[in-house]
């Protein structure tokens, strides 16, 4: 009979081996950065600034069907199953408990996806992994810390997703120890993206490794 340690070790090795097999699908180093690469809830809230950085600078004129973030930019043409997403994020809003930036993944349509909400303080509606499943967002993290310190600096963020086990891990600056973790299998393949519930911020140095599964776009309109 397998021990708990053996089961955990098996899952960990599966995650490591899966990550090693995932090819690089997209990077801003190789592909550059353009608004044409993204489908947005409101393209007028986004721009690529003079530093070649994707910037959310205003509030999107968008009303989701179910309670979920308003400001979303989904990377087109890269539908993935298992993936590793890394990027530099910089929050440009004022400091308060829910000061946030979000990463979106397994995005099927405007009412079915996961997102990671990284905020200054954790509570039931902030700094968690959320499921949107044709219903208002629901927090599903099994593990989270007390929040992140955005300040005015850039931060390196990583998400690891393994569909078979349902694993979702979120890393913030420290790429060895996750600040959030859970297991969920409601959504499998989908698109990845960036944004905020209702704040502003910038994204650069995007790298997406993954299992490529092509499909037509048309997520919000």
Please indicate whether residue 45 or residue 10 has the higher confidence score (pLDDT). 45
pLDDT at 215: 74
CATH number, domain of 177, equals 2.60.120.560
| Chain centre distance of CA 99 | 16
Q: Which range marks the domain in which residue 183 is found?
A: 24-212
Q: How far is CA 155 from CA 22, 68, 86, 167, 197, in A?
A: 23, 24, 11, 23, 18
pLDDT tens string 69-91: 999 999 999 999 999 999 999 99
**Tally of structural domains, the chain:** 1
- At 12, phi and psi to the nearest 5? -65, -45
Q: Is the pLDDT at 183 greater than 70, yes or no?
A: yes
Mean pLDDT value across the chain: 91
**What percent of the chain stands above pLDDT 70?**
88
Q: Is the pLDDT at 10 greater than 70, yes or no?
A: no
Q: How far is CA 75 from CA 1, 27, 54, 152, 195, in A?
A: 44, 11, 12, 25, 11
pLDDT at 217: 60
**162 located within any domain:** yes
Q: How far is CA 198 from CA 71, 98, 102, 206, in A?
A: 7, 9, 10, 22
**111 located within any domain:** yes
């Amino acid at each position: 009979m397998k021990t708990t340690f053996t089961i955990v070790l098996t899952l960990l090795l599966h995650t490591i081996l899966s990550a090693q097999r995932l090819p690089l699908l997209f990077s801003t180093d190789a592909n550059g950065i353009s608004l044409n690469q993204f489908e947005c809830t409101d393209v007028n809230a986004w721009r690529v600034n003079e530093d070649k950085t994707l910037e959310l600078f205003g509030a999107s004129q968008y009303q989701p069907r179910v309670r979920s973030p308003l400001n979303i930019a989904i990377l087109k043409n890269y539908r993935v199953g298992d993936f590793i997403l890394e990027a530099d994020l910089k929050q440009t809003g004022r400091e308060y408990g829910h000061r946030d930036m979000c990463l979106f993944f397994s995005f099927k349509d405007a009412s079915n996806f996961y997102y990671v909400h990284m905020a200054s303080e954790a509570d039931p509606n902030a700094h968690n992994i959320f499921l949107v499943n044709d219903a208002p967002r629901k927090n599903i993290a099994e593990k989270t810390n007390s929040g992140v310190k955005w300040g005015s600096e850039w931060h390196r963020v990583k998400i690891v997703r393994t569909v078979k086990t349902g694993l979702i891990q979120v890393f913030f600056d420290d790429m060895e120890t996750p600040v959030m973790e859970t297991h969920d299998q409601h959504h499998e393949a989908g698109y990845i993206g960036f944004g905020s519930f209702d704040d502003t911020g910038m994204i650069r140095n995007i790298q997406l490794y993954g299992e490529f599964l092509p499909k037509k776009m048309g997520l919000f309109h």
